[in-house]
Structure 1
Amino acid sequence: MNIHFIQHETYEAPGAYLNWAESRNHEITFSKVYENEALPDSANSIDMLIVMGGPQSPNTTLEECPHFNAEAEIALIQKCISAGKAVVGVCLGSQLIGEALGANFGHSPEKEIGVFPITLTGEGLTDEKINHFGKSLKVGHWHNDMPGLTKESKVLAFSKGCPIQIVSYSDLVYGFQCHMELTTEVVSLLIESETDLLAKSKKHQFIQNPQEILSHDFAEMNEKLFQFLDKLIAAYQN
C-alpha cells in the first residue's frame, strides 16, 4: 500500500498517522508543500491519501500563502475519490475534502485547542470503522473551522465546542476535524507555533494551557486511530 501525505507546515506533522504507516510497512510518500514539493499528477500511485491540517483555510489564496494551492489539492482529492482510493482529511484536510465534494467549510462555534472528549452520534456508533472509539473518547483539537457536509455525508462525532468532528463522506472517505494523530512531539511543535497560547487559555473555555496539553497521554487515542486506519485499508482492499 502506498500512503501519500500532503503536509502544509512543519508543525502540522502527521504524527501517529506516519507511525501507523511505518509500523505496517506501507510505502510512504510526501508532498511537503511548505518546502514547495509538488503534488502528484494523478491518483495512480496512491492507495490512501492523507491530507494534514494547517493554519490556512480552504479559501486561503496563493497571494496570502504562496505554498498552499487549495484548488490543486482539491483537484487531487477529487481524482483520488473518483478513482476509488481511500482518503482521510485532518482539520484543514477534512475541510478540503468537503470542498472537493461541493460542501463549503464553516467556522466552528468555538476555537478548540487541547484535549477534549468527542461523543459519537448514533451513526458513529454503527459505523464499523470507528465504533471501537466507544461512546466518548478524549482526542486532540487545534482548530477554528469545520468541514462542510454533503447530502450523503454522515456526522459520526461531535464535541461541546464543535458539532462536526468526524464525518464519513463515503465508505472510503473520512474527515477528522479533531487531531487523533497528536503525540507529545507534535504537540510541542504546535505549541511553539501558537502565539500567546497561555493568554488565550485564560479567555476561552475550550483552550487549554501548554502544560495541561502536554500532560496528556496520547497512547489510547493513537491506538484507536491505528485500528480505524487498519479497517479503512481492509475496506479499500475488498
Structure 2
Amino acid sequence: MNVHFVVHESFEAPGAYENWVRERGYEASYSRVYAGETLPRDADNIDLLVVLGGPQDPATTLEQCPHFNAAAECHLISQAINANKAVVGICLGSQLIGEALGAKFGHSPEKEIGKYAISLTAEGKANSKVAHFGDVLEVGHWHNDMPGLTDDAKILAMSEGCPRQIVEYSKLVYGFQCHMELTREVVELLIEASEPELNTLTDRRFVQQPAILRQHDWNEMNQKLFTFLDKLVIEYKAANA
C-alpha cells in the first residue's frame, strides 16, 4: 500500500494517519505544497490519497496563496476516484473532494476548535467502516467550513456545531470535516500557528483555548480512525482484486 499525503501547511500535519502508515508497514509519499513540492502527475502509484486540512478554502486563489492550487488538487482527486483508488479528505481536503465531484463547499454554522462530540446518523450506524465509533464519539475539530454534498453522498456523522462531519461519497471516498488525526504534537503545532486568533475567539461556543486543548487525550479517537482505515484498505483491495 502506498499512501500519498497532500500537505498544505507544516502545522496541518498527518499526525495519526502517519502513525497508522508506520504501524502497518505501508509506504508513504508526500506533496508538501507549502514547501514547493509538486502534486503527482496522476494517481497510478497511489493506493490511498489523503488530502489534509489547511487555513485555505476551495475558493482560495493562487494570488491569495501561491502554493495552493485548488484546481490542480481537484484534478488529482478526480483522477484517483476515477482510477478506483481510496481517497480520504480532512477538513479542507474533504471540501476539495466535494468540489472535485461538483459539490460546492459551504460555511459551517459554527466555528469549531477543540474536542467535541460527533453523533453518528442512521446512515453512519449502518456503515460498517464507522459503526465502531459508537453512537457518540469525542473527536478533534479545527474548522470554519464544511464539504458540499453530491446527490449520492451520505452524511455519516454530525455535531452540534456542524451538520456534515463525516461524509461518504462512495465506498472508497470519504470526507472528514473533523480532525481524527490530531495528536498532542499536531495540536501544539496548530496552537503555535493559531494562538493570536484563538485569543480573539473567547466568546465562541465551540472554541477551546490552548490550556484546554493541551489537556486532551486523543488516543481513543486515533485508534477508532485506525480501524476505519483498516476497513477502507480491505474494501480497496477487494474492489481492485
The normalised TM-score by structure 1 is 0.99
Return the alpha-carbon distance in structure 1 between the equivalents of residues 66 and 43 of structure 2: 24
Return the alpha-carbon distance in structure 2 between the equivalents of residues 90 and 198 of structure 1: 21
Aligned to 2:170: 170
Return the alpha-carbon distance in structure 1 between the equivalents of residues 3 and 32 of structure 2: 14
Provide structure 1 residue ranges, at least 5 long, that are not aligned to the other structure. none
Aligned to 2:60: 60
Aligned to 2:13: 13
Code of the aligned partner of 1:230: D
SS at match of 1:21: helix
Is the Cα contact below 8 Å between 2:113 and 2:208 reproduced in 1?
A: yes
Aligned to 1:117: 117
Return the alpha-carbon distance in structure 2 between the equivalents of residues 74 and 159 of structure 1: 26
Return the alpha-carbon distance in structure 1 between the equivalents of residues 99 and 198 of structure 2: 33
Report the Cα offset of residue 198 of structure 1: 4.7
What is the aligned residue count? 238
Return the alpha-carbon distance in structure 2 between the equivalents of residues 180 and 84 of structure 1: 24
Is the Cα contact below 8 Å between 2:6 and 2:50 reproduced in 1?
A: yes
Structure 1 residues 37-186: aligned runs within 5 Å: 37-186=37-186
Provide structure 2 residue ranges, at least 5 long, that are not aligned to the other structure. none
Is the Cα contact below 8 Å between 2:167 and 2:176 reproduced in 1?
A: yes
CA RMSD, 1 decimal: 0.8
Return the alpha-carbon distance in structure 2 between the equivalents of residues 198 and 128 of structure 1: 37
Return the alpha-carbon distance in structure 2 between the equivalents of residues 134 and 58 of structure 1: 31
Return the alpha-carbon distance in structure 2 between the equivalents of residues 199 and 49 of structure 1: 34
Code of the aligned partner of 2:145: D
Code of the aligned partner of 1:215: Q
Report the Cα offset of residue 229 of structure 1: 0.3
Return the alpha-carbon distance in structure 2 between the equivalents of residues 89 and 211 of structure 1: 28
SS at match of 2:55: coil
> Runs (4+) of structure 1 moved beyond 6 Å?
none
Return the alpha-carbon distance in structure 2 between the equivalents of residues 172 and 208 of structure 1: 33
Give the % identical residues. Answer: 62
Return the alpha-carbon distance in structure 2 between the equivalents of residues 198 and 77 of structure 1: 32
Return the alpha-carbon distance in structure 1 between the equivalents of residues 102 and 216 of structure 2: 37
Aligned to 1:193: 193
Return the alpha-carbon distance in structure 1 between the equivalents of residues 141 and 22 of structure 2: 24
The normalised TM-score by structure 2 is 0.97
Aligned to 2:207: 207
Is the Cα contact below 8 Å between 2:112 and 2:144 reproduced in 1?
A: yes
1:160-179 deviations in Å (ceiling 9; x for gaps): 00000000000000000000
Return the alpha-carbon distance in structure 1 between the equivalents of residues 14 and 28 of structure 2: 12
